[in-house]
Amino acid sequence: MEGGHSYREESHQEEATGVTPDSAAATDSDDDNGYEALTFFHPNQEQRETRNLADGNRSPKNSQSPDSSMTTKELQEYWRNEKRNYRAVKVLFEIPSARIVEKAFAKYVKYQIIIIQTGSFDSNRSIIERRYSDFERLHADLLKAFYDEMEDVPFPKKILTGNFTEDIIMERKLAFQDYLRLLYSMGCIQTSSTFIDFLIGPEMEEGYSCLRGGQYTKALEIFLQVVPLQEKLIKHRPILLVPTLCAILICHKDLDNSRSAYEFGEKALHRLQNYPNNRYFMPLLETMISLAYELGKDFVSLQEKLEERRAKKGPRKAATLKELAVQEYVH
């Protein structure tokens, strides 16, 4: 994507050096949002970030480490929780239906893709629609980036006649379903920006377009639908959810729903706690301080974090949170 900031434009010190967010080098890096950085992750760091997604729902007992003071029953419960937290989580793709779209100068088929998460109960099935040309573009882009891996991956050929017969549509439904499952089975492709943008890009573009146009209700509706799918796809890098959470915060704030705005701001800050140099960190703190003051919440700790960061960064003026949000997905 061209123009403003987008996922595809991310380049990261972690990719170049292999440092993890726990290291001093990572703390001093401004580039803390990337897909392919998974390749260089220390396994323990990846596991910690994935587990952090559920920290808000875990009790202190469940989050403690085993020690000699724990009873046998407590130790058994502890290891049951650990096993549950490390259970393999995968994404499953189903294409149950398709529909023919007819417009003034175009006729095409849209395939309904249902994406669910396995390994744990998933109450948020994500549903998107893509047409043959979308799959074709994805395949071409993946061939450029991962030729060796994609060389033998089958792709349904384009046909000039009979595209809209029931048999051809059924054949392609099954083919595209197998195609997505095969792509997801390849680690390098599963975490690539090309694959993830295919699954969430159109909806994200629409959401940010509505946000820039002041259509906050519509933008909020789109973002809230995309977030569950985005979470499924970026388990390897939860920080990638920060821009979307901040966009939701902005929508709620401009719709005078400060309480919900603060709630999503807390989720974003949780993911940024190890990334103080991230471009969203200081603008988010400033917004959260304002919301906390408005809601009568404690803002002193937030103010202290902001002052500490300002002391390290110097007097340089940072963009506001809204200015950052409207720059996402700009062509």
What's the pLDDT tens digit per position in 22-40?
333 344 344 444 443 332 2
Banded model confidence at residue 67, pLDDT cuts 50, 70, 90: low
What pLDDT does residue 159 have?
85
Banded model confidence at residue 52, pLDDT cuts 50, 70, 90: very low
What pLDDT does residue 160 have?
79
Residue 86 in this model has a pLDDT that exceeds 70 = no
How wide is the angle at C-alpha 162 spanned by C-alphas 158 and 167, nearest 5°? 95
- Check residues 88 and 38 and name the one with the higher pLDDT: 88
Average pLDDT, the chain: 81
pTM, two decimals, is: 0.75
- Check residues 14 and 73 and name the one with the higher pLDDT: 73
Q: What angle separates helix 132-145 from helix 193-212, to the nearest 10 degrees?
A: 120
Banded model confidence at residue 117, pLDDT cuts 50, 70, 90: confident
pLDDT tens, position by position, 274-327: 999 999 999 999 999 999 999 999 999 999 999 999 898 877 777 999 999 999
Q: Which residue has the tokens 């395949």?
A: 139
Q: How far apart are CA 79 and CA 62, in angstroms?
A: 9
What pLDDT does residue 70 have?
66
Helix (H, G, I), strand (E, B) or coil at 67: coil
Q: Are residues 85 and 57 in contact, defined by beta-carbon separation less than 8 angstroms?
A: no
- From the DSSP assignment, how many helices (H) and strands (E) are in the chain? 16, 3
Mean pLDDT, residues 99-123? 87
pLDDT tens, position by position, 225-273: 999 999 999 988 999 999 999 999 999 999 999 999 999 999 999 999 9
What pLDDT does residue 119 have?
65
How wide is the angle at C-alpha 244 spanned by C-alphas 238 and 246, nearest 5°? 105
Identify any residues that bridge with 128 across adjacent strands, giving them in sequence order. Answer: 113
Helix (H, G, I), strand (E, B) or coil at 301: helix
